[in-house]
Structure 1
Amino acid sequence: MNNIWKIYMLSLISFLVGTSQFVISGILDQVAASVGVPVSAAGQLITVFALANAIGTPVFMVATAKIDRRNQLLLALAIIFLGIVSTLALPGFEFLMVSRIILGVGTGIFVVTSYSTAADLALPGRQAGAMSNIALGYSVSLVLGVPIGRVIASAYDWKVIFWGIGIFTVLGFIAIAKTIPSMKSEAPIPLGEQLAMLKNPKITFALGVSLFVFTGYSVVNTYIAPFLTSTISISGGGVSVILFALGIASLFGSKLGGFLADRIGTIRILIGSMVVQALSLGLVSTFSGYAVVVISLLMIWAIGAWMFGPTQNFNLLSIAPKASGIMLSLNSTFVQLGFAAGAGIGGIAVDGSSILAICWIGTAAVAVALFITVALLGITRSLSSERG
């Protein structure tokens, strides 16, 4: 098999892996009903997934450092398959929580390893494009995987989705075993070395921005399906259409962020994306009775949120250009911690207040991130003028 097709294969499996993570947000109300828990409790399935991903991935990557990349990919898919089997076979909400923890670890290992594998398979000078294909596969799971999952869950049962993911995981395992050559893994970055970077206040504040932005995103995204069904009284099929539209908006925002950052500056795009997120979420609560306005504002919010991601990665690399691997690893951890915090906080809000509260909490989280960014910018300029 040509190396280009091997990269596309990894991208396709990344779509599958991404769907196993994100699909829960699109069917959260149905999962909650099937296991007999409130929607707020079901939201913690996303919390434990994200925590397992954030904490378990770097630990497992260090522990498996001596295993070649093909075997790391196979190990990741084996862990994912175990998580899917436990999802399907074990009864009750508690076992479902354990299954999400297993899936979180497996997903994290696969995504990290597939990036480096794709870069090694690519022709010289095309490594960035190969890695972007992996990111694209992961992102498209939001565009297609989540709404398709909603359609399947509405027509049959939400577990049918995981039957499909399980079957394709086995096929992916076979494909990798037969086509990906043995590749020596790079020495992993020790956890101590990664944590040492947090001594730099500029890095700590920048990662804090990621934490708060993705907390705000997760608060809303985790409960988006019950929010839509309760706020604008839309049916299951309508929810799938809206989820698809939000996925398209996310993809567009991701591309737009990188495009504009190259032309008008990283900081301006970061600030602009956060302003867009805060305003759109605030207005959603104000116009909650108007379906067309709410859907339009949510699409604007999704564009703003996904403009932030690639732009923030570039911003972090510019802060510490000689430690790019550490910075991307740390940012990934803080993003997942944001997902976990958002799902947890959103669950408390949904349980104790109106579901509209998630929009105000999302607005507040992004506003904190915006304040940190502006404050950090002011400190940086002040230091620069003193040195000058």
Structure 2
Amino acid sequence: MNPQARAQTALFALALSAFVFGTAEFVVVGVLDLVARDLAIPIATASHLVMAYALGIAIGGPIATALTTRFERRFVLALALAVFVASNVVIIVSRHFGLLALARFVPGAMHGLFVGAASVVAAGLVPARQRGQAMSMVFGGVAVATVLGVPLGTWMAQAMGWRAVFAGIAALGALAWAATLAIVPRHEAGAAVGTMAQARAAFAPRVLALLAVAALLMGGQFSVFTYIAPYLKQVAGATDKSIAAYLLVYGVASAAGMFAGGRLADRNASATIVVANALLLAVLSSLYFFGSGAFMAMLILAAWGIIGFGMVPAIQIRVVGLAGQGGDLAASLSASAINAGIAAGSLAGGWALVRFDVSAVVLVGLALCTLALPAAWATRSFEAPVPMAPASVPRPDIQRQLLNRVAQPDD
């Protein structure tokens, strides 16, 4: 197998792992009522399982990444998958909600760890000009999970029980673990960097500014998308049965946007973020003013999926690049920022829904994305730090001077 084919195969293995993580994250939304009924708890309490996973990504992911940055990357990927599988086995046998919530937090942390390590490995498998496409393969696995994994998991839960879903996720996770060890090449960690040095690089102001842009953009989108079902019903006249068709269109468009966004990120990641931000404003404005028609609403959702997910590879490339020697940690921080934005956006949209009406959630999304635009524009001027040569290695010009002195000794 030639090197290019080996790289593509390894990327597919990473995409499979991302698909498993993505399915585990989102499928619980479709089984909350079954979990609540089985454990005899309110559905509002069961919904904390969604938050537990998100907190795992946002808090546990960066911590796990910081603790493993000196380890070989394939080992880190395999470790994340092994802990993920074990946690899902705990979910299958758990009868207590507290243990169930903990068993959701830990896979979330492994999800964050995987994203950071997989981004670095994917970027190392291809030439620099194709890194956006490589990262889109990884994140594309998550996008495909929303199209295939979540609907199939929900169907399986209705037919066989919610625990069967997590049994299937554990089995797929074990398959992804085996594929990672068999197909993904070893990827040694970068030069040894202290934890504090990594943190300083990953939390540099330029990185934090871009993470804030990512949080605003995701918050703006999910302040609307979280409540898209009631919006479509009340504004576009959608029925319970037709909602699935709308979401399917959005999911397919999201997967397509992820892969297309990878190519655009390779051309100009900074410009991709700014243009996507501006287009998001146009899409959300269209939804507000023209979303009352069923066909128009579906077209708007398709455009939204392409644009909203198309910016993700560009964000990841910029975050990792701007962090320099803290790139591994910063890669997991982007997942944290995205999930923090999703949580905050959902809360803001919920406030608007309760205080005003369902159309107000779109105005909240527009406001957040509008705030992001000047910040996104400002980040275009940010430059990646120049790698410092080890102090023990003389600069090339000094080396030449030393060699000349040796070759031409004093008379």
| Structure 1: runs of 5 or more not aligned | 381-388
Instruction: Choose 223-232 or 327-336, whichever is displaced more.
Output: 223-232
Q: Which residue of 2 aligns with 1:11?
A: 15
Q: Which residue of 2 aligns with 1:73?
A: 77
CA shift for structure 1 position 104: 0.5
C-alpha distance in structure 2 between counterparts of 1:188 and 1:51, whole Å: 29
Answer with 1 or 2: which has the greater Rg: 2
Which residue among 141, 163, 169 is the counterpart of 2:167?
Answer: 163
- What is the count of residue pairs matched by the alignment? 374
Give runs of aligned pairs for residues 198-237 of structure 1, distance below 5 A. Answer: 201-224=205-228, 232-236=237-241
RMSD between superposed Cα atoms in Å: 4.0
TM-score (norm 1): 0.76
Q: Which residue of 2 aligns with 1:275?
A: 278
Q: Which residue of 1 aligns with 2:389?
A: none
Say if 1:159 and 1:365 are closer, same or farther in 2 by CA, change over 3 A: farther
CA shift digits 1:268-289 (9 cap, x unpaired): 5433322332343344345565
Give runs of aligned pairs for residues 334-345 of structure 1, distance below 5 A. Answer: 334-345=337-348
CA shift digits 1:189-210 (9 cap, x unpaired): 6553354347765444332211
For the 8 Å contact 2:139–2:313, the answer to whether it is kept is no
Q: Which residue of 2 aligns with 1:56?
A: 60
C-alpha distance in structure 2 between counterparts of 1:126 and 1:370, whole Å: 26
Which residue among 138, 143, 146 is the counterpart of 1:139?
Answer: 143
Which residue among 299, 305, 309 is the counterpart of 1:306?
Answer: 309
Q: Which residue of 1 aligns with 2:372?
A: 369
2:367 counterpart letter in structure 1: A
Identical amino acids, percent of aligned pairs: 28
Q: Which residue of 2 aligns with 1:292?
A: 295
2:293 counterpart letter in structure 1: Y
Say if 1:304 and 1:329 are closer, same or farther in 2 by CA, change over 3 A: same
Instruction: Choose 212-221 or 279-288, whichever is displaced more.
Output: 279-288
C-alpha distance in structure 2 between counterparts of 1:191 and 1:205, whole Å: 21
CA shift for structure 1 position 220: 3.5
TM-score (norm 2): 0.72
2:251 aligned with 1:247: yes
CA shift for structure 1 position 302: 1.9
CA shift digits 1:225-250 (9 cap, x unpaired): 565567644335x4433322112211
Instruction: Choose 210-219 or 183-192, whichever is displaced more.
Output: 183-192
For the 8 Å contact 2:223–2:361, the answer to whether it is kept is yes
2:28 aligned with 1:21: no
Instruction: Choose 319-328 or 51-60, whichever is displaced more.
Output: 319-328
For the 8 Å contact 1:143–1:247, the answer to whether it is kept is yes
C-alpha distance in structure 1 between counterparts of 2:192 and 2:344, whole Å: 27
